[in-house]
Structure 1
């Protein structure tokens, strides 16, 4: 790929990050008796694995339509219930793929509008990140046994907070070691018990995870043909140009090799990776994305296509034909239909895809 938009704009290099829960609605994480679970409502499914750190027995299961669109998802070791919080109410189910045992309750006003929700040993905790407080209750309907703790300033930068047994757990980015999760005893962060890195096969499912396993997104124009007119007269050049158009499926499909998709999933092999890749391009640059929409592009397997071109070249001049491409890491993975000529050997200035507001 020739020159990326970020390079041309003179922006600083992007290191990338997981997308925090606040910027990825419908994404959440919890641990229950089935293992660690990462919910991605935007993909319509969730990932279950034995442990975040080992990535064993990864299964991808669909979300029941009623369980889609939750603001928060909470589970706990030792009980079958999963809590889906949406607006001012919450739904209790025993299986996110079947909606088994569904019940609906109203949230107590004190339990609404939290930034993060979790549960450890029968106690719910609600983190109001901007206020720097943790609210502990035993019942979300009544706010019974409410206790307020201060969220220590050094723990304000968590991307996700959830419960593992008796530990309050947070995921955050480490400048040297990438995505890590830390287990603290109790809700007061009294003691750091242990910390772990997240397995790459699990990271790939997180919003922004491809940034950490494959590299940041790149986009830009690549020169695919140069035309020369060395004569003293204008000439008309008419020919067919061969373009590769579409999605480099094989380069990305390895993400799914260690995933087992449940029978209830309607997506075929490779389709889930396609969705994850497409969303990656829409994320902000700070999360390794490009802040662009690509839904209208050709996401079928990349193939070569002929494009008829006719142009007039002035005497002693050149023309440069460019194609817009997107990649993850240094590998192009999406070849767009957009082509453009320039008279100088500099890529076009415009970005041909719609920007995310």
Structure 2
């Protein structure tokens, strides 16, 4: 029997990633990036590869793998079954049985598919999600009810409860219903970076603010109009995040190259809600070119005995500045920074 691992995502992250495994490999799927990670060990970080996710299997609400060596992508009230996530091979679509719809989490372990309904605090277990075969319902164990991720293998089930001061941990149990023989493991940092919200675990939560880059003062008794030089840094400070993909091998078929993955993951981190260490903004309108120093020539009329404060928007992770905006400049007459956010809210 092949070991099978599956991870379903919480709330708004459903469409952004999942973890699963078949045979000798384990997978993290980032549907939002159109990529997935494959590794032979998430705890010891062995043999990490990055592949492109086929367009036909992107945008799923949940992703599963099962002992039949197939992948299942649930979207709405139906699911797509394929043999290869990169090629969409042998694709077949089935409807979900009404009793198997609208679950909050889906995972597979052993012979069964498990569906968690959080509001009802119950788990439905079936051998076939289309026919609702051999269905059984039981209460979810109190120790497992608040999991962010769930998956299973032939012999165990797993639950991730989120990050704490010791990092991202997951609990393994031999019986999901009874939570028997629980053991806790940690994800390796190189794996955490590929999980939704994982960049914030490694580098710190994202921040954004207006930084004052210049003050123009007119001490004369008359108004002054002239051109001023404003020197500032713009772009992406990529050396701050280059360690993200240090142990990853990018497949030749992947749509991104080495160095681009870190950029995509940082963009995605900025787009997440604050509860997952993000800023809930869309920064894809920025060029994201390498950071350089530039000088702008701007003409101002400064009133007598007044000042103009020049502000630039920047974003970062933890204590490190990561992105200096090219276009987000603002001007005020006081030392109080602007109150608006120049970026559009992230799309969910």
Taking the aligned partners of 1:321 and 1:89, their CA distance within structure 2 comes to 53
Give unpaired runs (5+ residues) of structure 2. Answer: 1-7
Q: Which residues of 2 match residues 208-357 of structure 1 at below 5 A?
A: 208-336=197-325, 337-356=327-346
Superposed displacement of residue 315, structure 1: 3.1
SS in structure 2 of the partner of residue 70 of structure 1: coil
1:44 paired with 2:34, answer yes
Taking the aligned partners of 2:301 and 2:77, their CA distance within structure 1 comes to 64
The structure 1 residue matched to 2:23, chosen from 33, 58, 71, is 33
SS in structure 1 of the partner of residue 131 of structure 2: coil
Taking the aligned partners of 1:326 and 1:237, their CA distance within structure 2 comes to 31
Name the residue aligned to 1:139. 128
Superposed displacement of residue 181, structure 1: 0.6
Give RMSD over aligned pairs: 1.9
Superposed displacement of residue 162, structure 1: 0.9
Q: Which residues of 2 match residues 106-185 of structure 1 at below 5 A?
A: 106-185=95-174
TM-score (normalizing by structure 1): 0.89
Superposed displacement of residue 140, structure 1: 1.5
Taking the aligned partners of 2:247 and 2:179, their CA distance within structure 1 comes to 37
Taking the aligned partners of 1:276 and 1:144, their CA distance within structure 2 comes to 40
Superposed displacement of residue 261, structure 1: 0.8
Instruction: Output one character per residue of 1:43-64: Cα deviation in whole Å (capped at 9) or x when no partner.
Output: 1011111222122111111111
Q: Per chain length, whose mean CA-contact separation is higher, i.e. which structure has more relative contact order (CA < 8 Å, sep 6+)?
A: 1
- Contact preservation (8 Å) 2:141, 2:179: no
Taking the aligned partners of 2:340 and 2:226, their CA distance within structure 1 comes to 25
Name the residue aligned to 2:178. 189
Taking the aligned partners of 1:30 and 1:149, their CA distance within structure 2 comes to 23
Taking the aligned partners of 1:251 and 1:103, their CA distance within structure 2 comes to 44
Taking the aligned partners of 1:222 and 1:231, their CA distance within structure 2 comes to 27
Taking the aligned partners of 1:178 and 1:91, their CA distance within structure 2 comes to 34
Q: Which residues of 2 match residues 191-210 of structure 1 at below 5 A?
A: 191-210=180-199
Taking the aligned partners of 2:308 and 2:78, their CA distance within structure 1 comes to 61
Superposed displacement of residue 125, structure 1: 1.0
TM-score (normalizing by structure 2): 0.91
